[in-house]
Amino acid sequence: MDFLPVFLRVAQKPCLIVGGGKVALRKAEWLWRAGASVTALAPTFHPDFKQMATTGRVSLKNKAFEPKDIEGFFLVIAATDDRDLNAHVAACARRLGLLVNAVDQPEACDFILPAVVDRSPVVLAVSSGGQAPVLSRLLKTTLESLIPTNFGQLAELAGRFRSRVKQALPSPNLRRRFWEQTLKGPAGELLLSGQTEAAAEEMAKALKAASERRQATGYVALVGAGPGDPDLLTLRALRLLQEADVVVYDRLVSPEILNLVRRDADKLYAGKARAESGLPQEQINQLLVRLAREGKRVVRLKGGDPFVFGRGGEEIETLANTEIPFLVVPGITAALGCASYAGIPLTHRDYAQSCLFVTGHRQGDRPNLDWEKLVVPRQTLVIYMGLLGLEEICQALIQHGMSPDMPAALIESGTTPRQRVTVATVATLSKIAREKLAHAPTLIIIGEVVRLRAKLAWFQEKQKNFGPEIPGQREKALNFIYRKL
Ligand code: SAH
């Protein structure tokens, strides 16, 4: 982030615009809308400036710029069509410690003016850090269409109730939940449909009910976070993350996904890495129960899917025994995420009709697997938690009849920007993985389907090149690629 987003109070403050053209005019209008006392300085002015001056919205100083002109102002905007002059104005302003903006020269700016969606008192400001104002305006247009025009009245209604709510509901948690439920619920709906008084009545009713209830009921949502890429979260997972009071997360949950958790929510790390000493399972179970009993909305966030090698079953068992409401939200399991991001289809008409997910986790000192079931023709084998036992696993597969040339892939941190894919054979994979210092989390895919990766590798490259920044762009690119396939 190159600029810190803040909202500036300029009401009644003296603000100077250097420039008299259309660009300067637009800036003057914005300052005036925010209540500033605006002065514009230029040798000549656009006719609309004169119009603005006759209604007292701006004072005009008809002259060429000199450094002493900026004395006494709170902020200065250099908006002439002369870049050098703008830079000069910016330098003079900075010398006096004034806030300054020079149009189209982000490097000379203390602040920049964002694209604005005005639903006062709610204001959305979009900025590209001065890099691509057109992109900000495109986004602004999208937001304009998404946010009802009377959205601001919702904030006014909330303002009217604010002190009453504070009195009636002493706990900040209860208050936040009250606001979320009423603003998104019937009161909010009534207001947005223009029924202001009915909305106020509904809110008063909801407040009465909430203050009588006092203690909110908590719940636990066992949520699958997917394998890493935040784009692979389900919509429900995202919503729960943004409503949570507490998120208890695993080592596997990527930082990109943790970024999407509501900012004020507590984030508790429950660990569970093999070597690290995370909380023991029983303690995690008890923690979830305690938090929910405190009335909190708890999200137990687990990598991939909670029911695939995730011990989700054990966690809900405890919750069920204590009668705490819970729900389970599935996630994309590592096998599916890694396979698709590595360009390896798990089944294929010509190569594999079945697919088996197993855990390579050692019990005692070696992986304990039913090898006969693993070495089956036309079957893809996916091994979770297999890095540590990789060598023994590959040897055992060969001993039980798998061809040493069977293609095998090791995918590290699949679907994240750190993804690395190593393709070898069952005979060579563990040696190569050691040489490459592969580290967890890793998923192993063994089977003829791995051969298809070479064919699909270009697809994966393309997929990477279409970032998620521009809405719809990635989908378009993928459709295009699928058609080509
Ligand atoms: N519930 C999870 C699996 C938990 S077991 C799921 O459904 O995906 C942990 C194992 O999952 C890791 O040891 C690794 O084998 C695999 N794994 C999880 N995320 C991964 C990722 N992004 N890349 C590669 N393997 C991953």
> Is residue 324's pLDDT more than 90?
no
pLDDT 10s digits, 62-87: 999 999 999 999 999 999 999 999 99
Q: Is 264 a catalytic residue?
A: no
Protein residue with least CA distance to atom 11, ligand 1: 384
Q: Which of 272, 296, 302, 305 is catalytic?
A: 272
Question: Strands across the sheet with 297-302, in order?
Answer: 266-271, 246-250, 297-302, 219-224, 326-329
**Measured between alpha carbons, how far is residue 224 from residues 194, 409, 416 in Å?**
39, 24, 16
Q: Which amino acid is at 249?
A: Y
What pLDDT does 205 receive? 87
> 344 near 453, Cβ under 8 Å?
yes
What pLDDT does 467 receive? 45
> Is residue 167's pLDDT more than 60?
yes
* 414 Cα–ligand 1 center, Å: 9
Q: Which of 71-80, 176-185, 465-474 has the lowest mean pLDDT?
A: 465-474
CA 89/CA 75 separation, integer angstroms: 11
**Measured between alpha carbons, how far is residue 37 from residues 12, 13, 401 in Å?**
5, 5, 85
CA 3/CA 111 separation, integer angstroms: 7
**Measured between alpha carbons, how far is residue 325 from residues 186, 220, 289, 338 in Å?**
24, 7, 10, 33
Confirm or reject: Cβ of 334 under 6 Å from ligand 1. Answer: yes
252's tokens: 């596997």
- Give percent above pLDDT 70 in the chain: 91
pTM: 0.62
Confirm or reject: Cβ of 227 under 6 Å from ligand 1. Answer: yes
Sorting pLDDT into bands at 50, 70 and 90, what band is 275? very low
Mean pLDDT score, 349-356: 95
Mean pLDDT score, 413-419: 93
Instruction: Say which residues have a Cβ less than 8 Å from residue 331's Cβ, sequence separation at least 6.
Output: 223, 224, 225, 226, 232, 233, 234, 237, 302, 303, 304, 305, 306
From the alpha carbon of 310, which atom of ligand 1 is closest? 1
Confirm or reject: Cβ of 333 under 6 Å from ligand 1. Answer: yes
Report which listed range, 132-136, 413-417, 450-454, is most confident. Answer: 413-417
Residue with tokens 């289809």: 345
pLDDT 10s digits, 102-117: 998 988 999 999 999 9
Q: Which of 443, 444, 445, 446 to mutate to test the pocket of ligand 1 (most atoms within 8 A of CB)?
A: 443
| Neighbouring C-beta atoms of residue 291, cutoff 10 Å | 22
Report the mean per-residue pLDDT for the chain.
88
DSSP-assigned beta bridge partners for residue 352: 348
pLDDT 10s digits, 87-102: 999 999 999 999 999 9
CA 170/CA 384 separation, integer angstroms: 47
Q: Which of 250, 296, 302, 305 is catalytic?
A: 250
What pLDDT does 414 receive? 95
Nearest partner of 319 among 343, 300, 345, 341, judged by Cα: 300
Mean pLDDT score, 214-229: 84
What pLDDT does 178 receive? 87
Residue with tokens 């279409």: 466
Confirm or reject: Cβ of 32 under 6 Å from ligand 1. Answer: no
Q: Which of 235-249, 270-284, 444-458, 464-478 has the lowest mean pLDDT?
A: 464-478
What pLDDT does 475 receive? 57
pLDDT 10s digits, 118-148: 998 899 999 988 788 888 888 998 888 888 8
